[in-house]
Amino acid sequence: MQNDWPLAWLRERLAYVPREPGLFAVALTHRSASNDNNERLEYLGDAVLNLLMAERLYAGFPAAAEGDLSRLRARMVSEEPLAGVAGTLGLGEVLRLGAGELKTGGFRRQSILADALEALVGALYLDAGLEEVRRIVMPLFDERVRELPHPAQLKDAKTRLQEHLQARALPLPLYHLDTVEGEPHEQVFHVRCEAPQAGAASEGSGSSRRRAEQQAAERLLAQLTAGEARS
């Protein structure tokens, strides 16, 4: 593998000239293209990015509790924003992919782009250290950090429903799996959620029991808040 092929891209998009170009050649190589691929660098970059994002959010949200900071970080280092940053860099254009991934548009796939961005962070860390990663990579997330919602809005529906009931000294909701339809590879789960002492119940469905429960909780919470607003 030639080690200098990502150099022009690194200079243009990141204004960075690596000490070890081979690290970046590996970081931009998907496992479908070579056994010498970016999976190990992805592992390292994930840890580095989590640390730097935790640092950034800790400083940027001084009033947020630990759980809120964890939810914010989980949002920021999830597949969608990572792939979005990778897209702004044009990272998909320089990825080395196998023939099958190229044919199916792997250079646009969110999971591949997100993994490659983490691998790129891992390569930067090994090549230049944590401070350079902070300087080069973290500004790429500035707009997304500014657009983060209030931490409470990141809580899933089951958590929000539980907190709603607890705040009113009511028992926790009950979830019942009613039916499961479809073939094993494409099942649909139907769940009922009840808050007996609040006199409310709802139903939800989804491709997993968890998703069905989340939908049912969302609907039940909407019922309860609407009822309170009318009273």
Q: How many CA atoms lie less than 13 Å away from 13 in the CB half-sphere?
A: 19
DSSP state of 2: -
42, 46, 213, 218: the catalytic one is 46
- Strand order of the β-sheet with 174-181 is 174-181, 188-195, 200-206
Looking up tokens 């649909």, which residue turns up? 188
- Catalytic annotation on 46? yes
Structure-derived torsion over alpha carbons of residues 81, 61, 169, 215, reported in degrees to the nearest 10: -10
Which tokens sit at 25?
């050649």
42, 101, 115, 118: the catalytic one is 118
- Catalytic annotation on 118? yes
User: Active-site positions?
Assistant: 46, 118
